[in-house]
Amino acid sequence: MFSRREFLKKTPLGFGAIAFAELLRLDGSLTAAGSGLASTSRPHSRATARSVIFVFQGGGPSQVDTFDPKPLLQELHGKDVPESIGKTIPKIARSPLNNLMASPWKFRQYGVSGIPVSELHPELGKCVDDLCVIRSCQHDSPIHAPAEFIATTGTQVGDRPSLGAWLTYGLGSENSDLPGFVVFKTGETIRPPAIGTGFLPARFQGVPVDSEKGIPNLALPAGFTKDDRESQLRLLETLNREHLRRAGGVNPPSRFVESSTLGQLGGLTSPARLDPFDSELEARIKSYELAYRMQVSAPAIFDLKQETAETHLLYGLDQKETAEYGRICLLTRRLVERGVRFIQIRSGGWDAHADIEDNHGKKCRAIDRPLAALLIDLKRRGLLDETLVICGGEFGRTPASQRGASKPGRDHSPSGYTTWLAGGGVRGGQIIGKTDDVGYAAIERPVHPNDLHATILQALGLDQHELVYEHHNRRELVTVNGGQVVNEVFG
């Protein structure tokens, strides 16, 4: 039996321990009892980044017109590729090897590093000392969809988890009121595998967001109160969980106590045993829970009126050409501030088979100022050091002019193209790798998308060989076909 004095002495510590345990669980540091899920919030090694922004340029921007100048193209304009160069070019990149086309744009050196950047990117050029430009990216698929799947999932089949799903699974989100993986798009239809979960639980899928309307369907219906919505969701939750229980799936704890950061590391047991039906149903339950939390917190995030006039001007919201992309980049910064783990910005329309001057001219005018503003804004807020930014497409474009085009354009070229990185521990002001003298193929320090994925994981403190998911009795890795960290990226 306790005296009243003893009771008062002992219970505060107990209450504190309960509160502390709950804080640890919400942070993903404790396993939810009986859920079969293990913590994913602690990386394997010291991380240099906490969030990732992946700017995906769908269609493939031309490397020789943006970040990889080739003076020899000016001399060989309209001619065939010299034999001395042609014999070094991989077969997949050999068609066509005639009618070389000089870049319509001039290059100039920027910053202390003196890295040359095309006049298509005058604003990004001013940020070049923060950029690590990899000129030797390459793979072997010249077709859009398979190449995109290589860039976003690591293989060209399209049946594996996207990089964003892997990272959200591996580390979760730092904000339980927002998705861990958010997707913006301009000018293209999203191919589901590029933001999908493959064999991972469906709740790690990317959430598409509209730059003007924000997350769809967040507003409460007319006449509904917050309490009404909570009662409705409790009923839906009860029905869905009962259905999941009868189906034999894992019945996760209620959204009223559970964080969204639970998953697995290092091969620990996770919901890998769920069949696809159970995974989808569990994801549906999670989506209702997350939607409720977002209805309370998310609308304010997408209200750009809270930003200063100077910030609006910085991102180009005052100009028609840059307004859409400017909104996306500004919202991206606001989401990074609030702990969203992975943001994919999908900019489509770079497939310039004809009239590359018009195509790339418009695309670069739309993105150059907003992307530079994003880097500047992240840096001045102290966020760039912990935010890894990656920008590139599924491949580049040939140095030769496209056959049959009324106005000159370029064909697909996966054998040598450019991707740049910034922030998140990256050493800026450097160039990695090299393509041949006309820009067909990587000839020095080739970098495969799997290598890029391994490098991104490294920045976030995740070991590509330790971040695993048990699927059909197989330990699945992100870099299933192998990947080597590009250590030069970090200095």
| Residue 364 counted as domain residue | yes
Torsion of CA 329, 334, 336, 337, to 10 degrees: 150
| Residue 1 counted as domain residue | no
| Residue 13 counted as domain residue | no
Cα→Cα distances 193→52, 145, 167, 240, 307, Å: 19, 10, 15, 26, 34
| Residue 250 counted as domain residue | no
Helix (H, G, I), strand (E, B) or coil at 452: helix
Domain count, the chain: 1
Q: Quick one: tokens of 378?
A: 């992240």
Residue holding tokens 């149903």?
281
| Residue 367 counted as domain residue | yes
- Strands of 191-325 (E only): list them: 207-208, 262-263
Q: Which domain holds residue 311?
A: 43-219+298-490
Tell me which amino acid residue 117 is: V
- In this structure, are strands 107-110 and 387-392 parallel, antiparallel, or unpaired? unpaired
In the chain, how many H helices and how many E strands?
12, 18
- Strands of 400-441 (E only): list them: 412-413, 417-422, 430-432, 434-435
Taking only the tens of pLDDT, the chain with its 491 residues reads: 556 666 555 555 555 544 544 444 444 444 333 222 333 456 778 899 999 999 999 999 999 999 999 999 999 999 999 988 888 787 765 566 889 999 999 999 999 999 999 999 999 999 999 999 999 999 999 999 999 999 999 999 999 999 999 999 999 888 878 889 999 988 777 899 999 999 998 889 998 988 877 766 666 677 777 788 778 878 877 887 787 777 765 554 443 323 333 333 333 223 333 444 456 666 666 666 666 666 666 677 888 999 999 999 999 999 999 999 999 999 999 999 999 999 999 999 999 999 999 999 999 999 999 999 999 999 999 999 999 999 999 999 999 998 777 899 999 999 999 999 999 999 999 999 999 999 999 999 999 999 999 999 999 999 999 999 999 889 999 998 889 999 999 98
What is the CATH classification number for the domain harbouring 375?
Answer: 3.40.720
132 has which bridge partners?
A: 421, 430
CA distance 251 to 262: 14
| Residue 244 counted as domain residue | no
| Residue 356 counted as domain residue | yes
DSSP secondary structure of 86-120: HTTS-GGG-S--SSB---SS-EEEETTTTEEEETT
Question: According to the model, what pLDDT value does residue 225 have?
Answer: 79
| Residue 35 counted as domain residue | no
Close Cβ partners of 32 (under 8 Å, ≥ 6 residues apart)? 25, 252, 253, 258, 262
Q: Which of 317, 249, 311, 309 is nearest to 283 (CA)?
A: 249
Question: According to the model, what pLDDT value does residue 248 have?
Answer: 66
Return the DSSP state at 135.
Answer: E
